[in-house]
Amino acid sequence: MLKGKKIVLGITGSIAAYKSCLIIRQLIKKGAEVQVVITPAGKEFITPITLSALTCKPVISEFFSQRDGTWHSHVNLGLWADAMLIAPATASTIGKMANGIADNMLITTYLSMKAPVFIAPAMDLDMYAHPSTQKNLQTLQSYGNHVIEPGTGFLASKLEGKGRMEEPENIVAALEAFFAKQCDLEGECILITAGPTYEKIDPVRFIGNYSSGKMGFALAEECARRGADVTLVCGPVSAAMQTEHPNIHRINVESAQQMYEVCKERFPSMTSAVLCAAVADYAPEAVAMEKMKRTADDLVIRLKPNPDIAAALGKMKQAGQKLVGFALETNNEESNAQSKLKKKNFDFIVLNSLKNKGAGFQTDTNQITIITPQGKTEYALKPKTEVAKDIIDRLVQQG
Ligand code: PMT
């Protein structure tokens, strides 16, 4: 899992700095490439010569090389790395990271880092237990950083041992587990529907809804990032909505009928489908060829039912295939979602309610409840990217 991975190892001024040699040895043994960035205090505990001998790379500590004035680019390091590990991380460095105090090369590298960041705190128990350290660690976690709790591998439930840096093998195992999880969809083909559908009334008007596609796109990126081959069937969304991962094959459609045709054709070759699109249940029975003109009379547009894509895929579903649906509700949320779960033969359904602030259409956040035939799990309001992770974690757990 670590083969070929590029790791920036940040070392700070703690007695546990000597253990970073063991971390480097294990990372390199597993095929990773390691670039050390050390704080001035870190150098009091371990020499750059030892570290550069182990990594076969010059150690970075200052913004400029003393010898030739070369500029060390923290931005490039941030782009180069697959992960940044700060081990040991002192209370001081944790505080600076949480508050953006960029007074050394390690903190500027952290602030420029595009890759996931892992932090292995190391300090005495009182410093670790102090509310300010705990608050800073919580802040860092809320920024999406991974804190490798001291003592999790051996003394998790006891306070004794807390504060002491986690053992090098457990730190490396945490990184390995992270990268393993990243590829847990390798070999899977996943169909995702996203966005609204437009049902034409005439050449200038349609029946539509407020779906932006954000939730569906977040699901597509999450699946592709974890190794799946993704087919994203996408209703009309804004031009700003672009996919990033090369394993996402996007098929644009406009109407529910078009989305149905594509999904029906693709589903047999998929391992799973996640139906996030807000599909219009009805479409005008007849589409006017020319723009309809205003008259003095009431206008009545007769609607016909659209195909129910989810129900059709639910009928087609073979053993081993998984089907996940969404339910966007405004009232009787759980009972409506339960009945859709059964009627459409979903493995589970993701309920979101417009009653919850920050949930549903257009927002960058969502608040969901996952309902399975066995029970339900409620989740907090989170960015849609994080919500996508929760949904895909559940899909993976379904086996
Ligand atoms: O796109 P965003 O702005 O980010 O908003 C996200 C979202 C609110 C659209 C999304 O989270 C969501 O809830 N999508 C489903 C909305 C919806 O249409 O729910 P529904 O309860 O009407 O449909 C139930 C399920 O059947 C859904 O999986 C839907 O995709 C599917 N369906 C519905 C009708 C139909 N004709 N065919 C279908 O496949």
DSSP state for residue 368 in the 8-state scheme:
E
Residue 11 has pLDDT above 90, yes or no: yes
322 alpha carbon – ligand 1 mean position (Å): 17
231 alpha carbon – ligand 1 mean position (Å): 17
Residue scoring higher pLDDT (4 or 57): 57
Quick one: average pLDDT of 291-310? Answer: 95
**Structural tokens at position 49:** 């010569």
Atom of ligand 1 nearest to the CA of 310: 39
- The three-state secondary structure class of 271 is coil
How do residues 241-280 score in pLDDT, each as one tens digit? 999 888 999 999 999 999 999 999 999 999 999 999 999 9
Residues 23 and 168: beta-carbon distance below 8 Å: yes
351 alpha carbon – ligand 1 mean position (Å): 10
Q: Which residues does a 6 A CB cutoff place in the pocket of ligand 1?
A: 193, 195, 211-216, 256, 275-279, 281, 306, 308-310, 325-328, 340, 344, 352, 360-362
State how far the Cα of 341 lies from the Cα of 91, in Å rounded to an integer: 48
Quick one: average pLDDT of 17-22? Answer: 97
Average pLDDT score, the chain: 93
6-181 with 189-397: one CATH topology? yes
Q: Which CATH number fits domain 6-181: 3.90.870.20, 1.20.120.530, 3.40.50.1950, 3.90.79.10?
A: 3.40.50.1950
In this structure, the residue with its CA closest to atom 34 of ligand 1 is 279
**Structural tokens at position 211:** 């779906």
User: Which residue of 279, 317, 370 sits with most ligand 1 atoms within 8 Å of its CB, as the best mutation to test the pocket?
Assistant: 279
334 alpha carbon – ligand 1 mean position (Å): 15
Among 158-162, 343-347, 365-369, the range scoring the smallest mean pLDDT is 158-162
End-to-end CA distance of the chain: 21
CB crowding 145-162: b at 16 or more within 10 Å, else e: bbbbbbbbbeeeeeeeeb
161 alpha carbon – ligand 1 mean position (Å): 49
Atom of ligand 1 nearest to the CA of 312: 39
Among 68-77, 114-123, 362-371, the range scoring the smallest mean pLDDT is 68-77
Residue 129 has pLDDT above 80, yes or no: yes
In this structure, the residue with its CA closest to atom 10 of ligand 1 is 276
pLDDT the model gives residue 103: 94
pLDDT the model gives residue 3: 86
Helix axis angle, 168-182 relative to 19-29, nearest 10°?
A: 40
Backbone angles phi, psi at 249, to 5 degrees: -105, 115
pLDDT the model gives residue 151: 63
352 alpha carbon – ligand 1 mean position (Å): 10
pLDDT the model gives residue 183: 86
Query: What is the radius of gyration, based on Cα positions, of the chain?
Result: 26
pLDDT the model gives residue 161: 58
In this structure, the residue with its CA closest to atom 21 of ligand 1 is 327
pLDDT the model gives residue 182: 80
State how far the Cα of 87 lies from the Cα of 85, in Å rounded to an integer: 6
How do residues 62-71 score in pLDDT, each as one tens digit? 876 666 666 6
pLDDT the model gives residue 264: 98
pLDDT the model gives residue 163: 78
Atom of ligand 1 nearest to the CA of 276: 14
Atom of ligand 1 nearest to the CA of 349: 28
310 alpha carbon – ligand 1 mean position (Å): 10
**Catalytic annotation present for 209:** yes
How do residues 80-96 score in pLDDT, each as one tens digit? 999 999 999 999 999 99
Residues 263 and 313: beta-carbon distance below 8 Å: yes
Q: Which of 170, 209, 345, 356 is catalytic?
A: 209
pLDDT the model gives residue 202: 97
How do residues 154-206 score in pLDDT, each as one tens digit? 334 445 557 789 999 999 999 999 988 788 999 999 999 999 999 999 999 99
Q: What is the DSSP string of 316-357?
A: HPPTT-EEEEEEEESSSHHHHHHHHHHHTT-SEEEEEETTST
The whole-angstrom distance between residue 90's C-alpha and the CA centroid of its chain comes to 28
Residue 120 has pLDDT above 80, yes or no: yes
Residue 238 has pLDDT above 70, yes or no: yes
Percentage of residues in the chain having pLDDT higher than 90: 87
Residue 214 has pLDDT above 50, yes or no: yes
pLDDT the model gives residue 67: 62
Superfamily classification of domain 189-397: CoaB-like (3.40.50.10300)
pLDDT the model gives residue 158: 47
Of 304, 48, 23, 305, which is closest to residue 169 (Cα–Cα)? 23
Spans of all domains in the chain: 6-181, 189-397
CA atoms within 13 A on the CB side of 72: 22
State how far the Cα of 379 lies from the Cα of 390, in Å rounded to an integer: 9
